[in-house]
C-alpha cells in the first residue's frame, strides 16, 4: 500500500512539473538602451528595440521602423501588398546624417502609424 501511495504522489508531482514546464513564458520587454550598429558601408546607425519576445521591431532614434535587407543594411520599413513589414530601398540614417531626399521620403512614412513609433 505504501508503494502505491508513493507511486501516486510521484506521478502527480511529475505531471505538475511537466505542466509548469510547458507554460508560456511571461513577456519580457526589449532592451531600452540605444545600440550602435555598423552598416556594411562602415557608417554607424543608432537603433532601439521595442516590443517583447512575441512582437518586436527595431527603430531609429526618432521612431522610424527599420528592417535589415539581404545585403545587411538597415533600411526604413514599408508595408508590402501582403501587409508585411519589409525593408525599403532607402538605407536608414541617423537624423543628423539625413539628406533632404531622406526627409522627403520619411514624410510619406509618417502617415502610417505602423511605420512611425514613439521613441
Domain ranges of the chain: 35-109
Q: pTM for this structure?
A: 0.69
Q: What share of the chain has pLDDT > 90, as a percent?
A: 45
Residues 86-99: what's their mean pLDDT? 95
Strand-pairing partners, residue 75, are 67, 91
Question: DSSP labels for 72-116?
Answer: S-EEEEEE-TTS-EEEEEEEP--GGG--HHHHHHHHHHTTSTTSB
Structure confidence at residue 35 (pLDDT): 92
39-77 pLDDT tens trace: 999 999 999 998 767 778 899 999 899 999 999 999 999
Decide: 66 and 77 in contact? Cβ < 8 Å: yes
Nearest-angstrom CA–CA distance, 12 and 27: 28
pLDDT tier, 108 (very low <50, low <70, confident <90, very high otherwise): confident
Mean per-residue pLDDT over the chain, rounded: 81
Amino acid at each position: 500500500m505504501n508503494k502505491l501511495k508513493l507511486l501516486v504522489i510521484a506521478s502527480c508531482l511529475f505531471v505538475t512539473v511537466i505542466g509548469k514546464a510547458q507554460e508560456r513564458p511571461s513577456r519580457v520587454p526589449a532592451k531600452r538602451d540605444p545600440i550602435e550598429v555598423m552598416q556594411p558601408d562602415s557608417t554607424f546607425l543608432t537603433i532601439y528595440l521595442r516590443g517583447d519576445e512575441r512582437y518586436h521591431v527595431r527603430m531609429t532614434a526618432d521612431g522610424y521602423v527599420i528592417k535589415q535587407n539581404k545585403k545587411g543594411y538597415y533600411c526604413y520599413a514599408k508595408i508590402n501588398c501582403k501587409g508585411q513589414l519589409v525593408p525599403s530601398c532607402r538605407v536608414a540614417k541617423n537624423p543628423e546624417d539625413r539628406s533632404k531626399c531622406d526627409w522627403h521620403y520619411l514624410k510619406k512614412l509618417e502617415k502610417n502609424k505602423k511605420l512611425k513609433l514613439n521613441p
